[in-house]
Amino acid sequence: MRSRRDSGQTLKIVSPVHKALRQISEYLIRQMDEIDAPGWESHLLSYVEVYGPCRVSELRKVFGYNPSTLTSVLDRLESEGLISRRPNRSDRRSILIAVTTKGRRIGRAARRVVEDFEVDILENLSASDLEGFRRVMAAIAEVTQVELRREVGK
């Protein structure tokens, strides 16, 4: 990989994106606390509520948890009656994760928090701001060639 440090183009994207990720994380954890939802675990519940049942490997890829951390998170959510695990009939080597009724309620509440947050952000952006953001995100996807989740309908 070639170095481009002298080009003046370094850390104009990655550093602000990293900072924004931390800000989003801190903000959403505070908001989840206000609705008595279990922090980032609520985000996982929201994801499974929409896309589930999900394979554990999909959750690892989407959320970036290492296997032992994800196992602990899933154990905790299961012990609280928020998810269930069941064998995957199409692949006996894998387990599917689904939300329970209680988990669905929390997942939906968490999703509303995230949707409200996004509306608040969008109210501060113009259409051209949003288009520029989409272009930056597309460039990141192109350069990284990392697919975290296949888009719905693809």
Whole-prediction pTM value? 0.76
The answer to whether residue 76 sits within a structural domain is yes
The answer to whether residue 110 sits within a structural domain is yes
What is the CATH number for 112? Answer: 1.10.10.10
The answer to whether residue 151 sits within a structural domain is no
The answer to whether residue 67 sits within a structural domain is yes
Q: What is the mean pLDDT of the chain?
A: 88
The answer to whether residue 7 sits within a structural domain is no
For the chain, give the percent of residues with pLDDT over 70. Answer: 90
- Residues 89-106 have pLDDT tens digits of 988 888 999 999 999 999
The answer to whether residue 154 sits within a structural domain is no
Q: Provide the domain limits for residue 74.
A: 13-144
Q: Report the pLDDT averaged over residues 38-64.
A: 89
The answer to whether residue 82 sits within a structural domain is yes
The answer to whether residue 27 sits within a structural domain is yes
Q: What is the 3-state secondary structure (H, E, C) of the chain?
A: CCCCHHHCCCCCCHHHHHHHHHHHHHHHHHHHHHCCCCHHHHHHHHHHHHHCCEEHHHHHHHHCCCHHHHHHHHHHHHHCCCEEEEECCCCCCCEEEEECHHHHHHHHHHHHHHHHHHHHHHCCCCHHHHHHHHHHHHHHHHHHCCCCCCCCCC
- Residues 96-149 have pLDDT tens digits of 999 999 999 999 999 999 999 999 999 999 999 999 999 999 999 999 988 776
Total domains present in the chain = 1
